Amino acid sequence: MALLAATMLASSPAVAFAASEAAPVVQQVPPSIRVVAAERRELVETLSVNGTIVAREEAAVGTDLNGLTVIALNADEGDLVKKGDVLAVLDRSMLDTQLAQIEASRAQAEANIAQMRAQIGDVEVGVRQAREALDRAEALQKKGVATDAQRDNAVNALDSAKAKLDSAEKALKASEAQLAVVEAQRQNVVVQISKTELRAPADGLILARDATLGGVVMAQTAPLFRIAINSEFELAATVAETALPRLANGMVAEVSMAGFDRPIAGSVRRISPEVDHSSRLGAIRIALKPGSPVRAGNFARGEIEIIRRQGVAVPTSAVMYAGPDAFLQSVEDGKVRTQTVTLGARSGEMVEIVSGIAEGEEVVSRAGTFVADGDLVTPVRVEATGAVKP
């Protein structure tokens, strides 16, 4: 009976109500979401390019002489040379022989000229004598002493003397012309002799040497020496046509190469005005800092600084996209609010927010994954999680 009474008591409504009042009430907590604050920082946006190291300007040293032998080499690849330095010497013995022959011809032409001038002097005396004889014959004829035949002989003698003078003067001009020809030939040989010494046309670094001791040079062959003028080098790279409008001469750049611990400073020197119609790429040149220890032909990577400014930025992972529009999920008073934003420069893992979010506002660090607009969340700061800020 006691057991029956206890069972009835437990099943009564009053007892059930008391038991429910004693049970704990479970309160739902909003999910924890990591958030970051939009902060003002320096933003540096770069454009990466790849290319090859080349000399800024090259000078080619060759010769237009044919069949001459290289008898001396004074420079090799890698040598620094000054303008006017003799790099190689060619055999000039054949040219010296030609010069000696021309000098003899020149002496002969000068002797002919001297002889013709002396002859002209004699003929001029004869012309003067003939004119005086004619004057006397005409005076005697007027007095009735000389005959017409005597006067005619005097006239003929004067004409003959004038003809001889004219012939001698023309012969003198011919001799002088011959001397001019000989002098031109002499100058030509002298110029060729000067070319037997191959000289550096500018200061610089010798990149290549094709001349060999004892080798015979030909006018149509490749240059015997190639020189990087003033030892200046630059990165020759190509850029997509869509990126060309963002580039400008003078932009700061850093060039990295295998084997170098640090990048080399440089700047954009030239942007090609033409885009290749097949590859749709444009050529650019990045001038390297003078004295950089680079080698022509090195493969290199350049980072061109497009933008450097202060701005409000968030991690790129916080941005959502819907077509061309960008959004951020801001958190205010524990509630998620989706906002349209305007993006600016990108710097590493950060992106600039031009409008839509103010400095200090908190946004979901990895947007669109777990929460939607209007959800209640428990914000967890990046500092509290121990995560490394970008």
Q: How far is CA 311 from the centre of its chain?
A: 34
pLDDT tops 60 at residue 15: no
Domain limits, the chain: 32-42+310-385, 47-55+230-308, 67-91+196-227, 93-194
Query: What are 292-314's pLDDT values in tens digits?
Result: 888 999 999 999 999 889 999 99
The mean-pLDDT minimum among 20-34, 99-113, 285-299 falls in 20-34
Nearest to 203 by CA among 291, 53, 290, 85: 85
- Put residue 39 in one of left, alpha, beta given phi > 0 → left and psi -120 to 50 → alpha: beta
Does residue 241 register a pLDDT over 60?
Answer: yes
pLDDT > 70 in the chain, percent: 90
Check residue 272 and give its pLDDT: 92
Specify the 3-state DSSP secondary structure of 30.
coil
Residue 6: predicted pLDDT: 46
The domain 32-42+310-385: what is its CATH number?
2.40.420.20
Same fold, 32-42+310-385 and 47-55+230-308: no
Beta-ladder partners of 47: 304
Q: Is the pLDDT of residue 207 over 70?
A: yes
Q: Specify the pLDDT at position 383.
A: 62
Residues 343-364: tens digit of each pLDDT: 988 888 899 999 988 898 999 9
Mean pLDDT score of the chain, rounded to an integer?
Answer: 86
Residue carrying structure tokens 């002799």: 193
Structure tokens at 42: 């320096």
Close Cβ partners of 319 (under 8 Å, ≥ 6 residues apart): 326, 327, 328, 341, 343, 351, 367
The two tokens of residue 11 are: 């099943």
CATH: 2.40.30.170, 3.10.50.40, 3.30.365.10, 3.40.50.2300. Which one for 47-55+230-308? 2.40.30.170
Helices 148-194 and 93-143: angle between axes, nearest 10 degrees: 170
Compute the average pLDDT of residues 104-122. Answer: 88
CA distance 347 to 100: 75
pLDDT for res 25: 54
Burial class (CB in 10 A: 0-12, 13-18, 19+), 42: exposed
Identify the architecture of domain 67-91+196-227 in CATH. Beta Barrel (2.40)
Those residues whose C-beta lies under 8 Å from the C-beta of residue 334, and which sit 6 or more positions away, are 30, 376, 377, 378, 379
